């Protein structure tokens, strides 16, 4: 189960629930999005799209964890994890994927190495 407190996840940055951001986000560490984000995200670390988060983006990350709504493309070097009540629409490219029962996924996946992408 995905823990959601700062103490349990070690979150380095947070986009709050009633916040919107459009642009490019580049970071190290763990970032949690509870609000609305549109644009590009690039990291070698972890992105968490929380239950109330809505993201429309091109994402390159180490790990992506989704509980909210996502539209776009994800290239994850390590894994993508989707937890109920996530709604995911788009393309996932990752060597490992985990989808909890109750997740809505409408898109395509490509599994294998993402090293040369």
pLDDT in tens, 40-97: 999 999 999 999 999 999 999 999 999 999 999 999 999 999 999 999 999 999 999 9
38, burial (CB in 10 Å: exposed 0-12, middle 13-18, buried 19+) = middle
| Inside any domain, residue 103 | no
Strand, coil or helix: what is 8? helix
94, burial (CB in 10 Å: exposed 0-12, middle 13-18, buried 19+) = buried
Number of domains in the chain: 1
Give pLDDT, residue 112.
75
Give pLDDT, residue 104.
97
Cβ atoms of residues 12 and 29 within 8 Å: yes
| Inside any domain, residue 114 | no
Give pLDDT, residue 63.
97
| Inside any domain, residue 42 | yes
| Inside any domain, residue 40 | yes
Domain of 79, in residue numbers: 6-87
| Inside any domain, residue 101 | no
| Inside any domain, residue 97 | no
| Nearest in space to 67 (alpha carbons), one of 98, 28, 24 | 98
List all residues 6 or more positions away from 86 whose beta carbon is below 8 Å from its beta carbon. Answer: 49, 66, 67, 68, 69, 70, 100, 103, 104, 105
Give pLDDT, residue 38.
97
């Amino acid at each position: 189960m995905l823990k959601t407190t700062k103490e349990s996840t070690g979150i380095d940055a947070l986009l709050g629930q009633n916040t919107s951001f459009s642009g490019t986000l580049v970071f190290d560490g763990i970032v949690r999005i509870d609000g609305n984000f549109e644009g590009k995200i690039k990291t070698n670390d972890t992105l968490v799209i929380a239950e109330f988060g809505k993201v429309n983006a091109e994402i390159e990350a180490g790990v992506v964890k989704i509980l909210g709504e996502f539209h776009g493309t994800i290239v994850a070097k390590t894994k993508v994890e989707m937890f109920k009540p996530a709604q995911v629409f788009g393309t996932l490219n990752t060597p490992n994927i985990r989808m909890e029962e109750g997740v809505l996924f409408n898109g395509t996946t490509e599994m294998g190495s993402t090293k040369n992408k």
